[in-house]
Amino acid sequence: MYYLKNIEDWEMIEKPIYYAVGGAFHTGKELIRKEMPLPEAIAEATKVFDDDIDSRALVAAMLSEWYKASRQFYQDYEIVDVEMKIELPLAEYEGGEIYFAGMADALLKDKNGRLFVGESKTTSDSVDRFCSKLWAQRQGLLYVWALRRLGYDVVGIIYDVTKKATIKRGMATPMEKRKYKKDGETLYAGQREHDESYSEYLSRLKQWYQSKPESFAQEVIVHSKQQLDAIENDMSNILKALVFYQATDNWPRSLSSCYAYNRACEFAHYCSAGNDELILQSLYKKRDRVFSKLINKGETDEFNTN
């Protein structure tokens, strides 16, 4: 995955819909944090969906209910930065350098002046179960570790978790399956004459969220020095492996990751077809990178793996 995504820059042309929903929700939260009024932020974030009423209503409901549910929590935090780029030089090897690069959703300061990374997550799982795994979330640990290495006195991370609503838009019952009551006009319960409209579905989604306040949570995690030392050690080992794979141009597959988090890896089509070049050319395209691959700005000490 690292090779295909970060060295060769491939990405899927048509991303699965859960990426689009997560991405639009994320965009909306970013705009709200930048103080755009809620209705405008919703309109801006959901315009990617065009005629996709299901996704547009879902993201609109998620944003408006998240805003109501989380406003009080964030009253105790100052937003220091939004969409904060993290770039940390890590290793040099013959022919190149490796940088840690990421984008923190936000940098937040609490009333005691402590800094936290703010990170948004959406899940189809229960929020409780999702939150119970967050202490070991590698991305969060790495963001905190990298920012500390860059001189920010970050103490931990606040995960802002939102469950995706599980109700679907009601669709008209196919003609051949419709069953009417004795009057010959009234459909049986559960059957529909017409598709549910955008506003009907949106209203039902909002009610769903209001009846399930546990769909939103903010999990504050303060990382200990031992946890950050351990992730630094992990990173050092990963780096050595990356430099070795690159030097030998040999990228072992990680079959335990192909269906991690109950979803297929972006490259599952390609790998399952035995790395078929035709599949690569027809389903994937070269992506625009947020970060340049090699940025010459300073040297590292511990991570020089030469």
| Residues in touch with ligand SF4 (CB under 6 A) | 1, 4, 253-255, 257-258, 265, 267-268, 271
Partnered with residue 218 across adjacent β-strands are: 160
Say how many Å lie between the first and final Cα of the chain, rounded.
Answer: 24
Nearer to ligand SF4, 1 or 43 (CB): 1
Q: Are 152 and 183 in contact (CB under 8 A)?
A: no
What's the closest the beta carbon of residue 137 comes to ligand SF4, in angstroms? 18
CB of 3 to ligand SF4, least distance (A): 8
Q: At 299, which amino acid appears?
A: E
Nearest to ligand SF4 of 152, 267 (CB atom)? 267
Nearest approach in angstroms of CB 8 to ligand SF4 is: 11
Cβ atoms of 167 and 208 within 8 Å: the answer is yes
Shortest spacing between CB 257 and ligand SF4, in angstroms: 4
- Nearer Cβ to ligand SF4 (73/251): 251
274 secondary structure, DSSP code: T
Strand order in the sheet with 115-123: 78-93, 96-109, 115-123, 154-163, 216-222
User: Coil, strand, or helix at residue 284?
Assistant: strand
Q: Which is nearer to ligand SF4, 4 or 69 (CB)?
A: 4
Token pair 């005629």 is found at: 51
Short-list 268, 270, 250, 251, CA closest to 259: 268
Q: What angle do CA 24, 28, 32 make, to 5 degrees?
A: 170
Nearest to ligand SF4 of 268, 290 (CB atom):
268
CB of 293 to ligand SF4, least distance (A): 19
Among residues 168 and 253, whose Cβ is nearest to ligand SF4? 253
Q: Quote the least distance from Cβ 218 to ligand SF4, whole Å.
A: 31
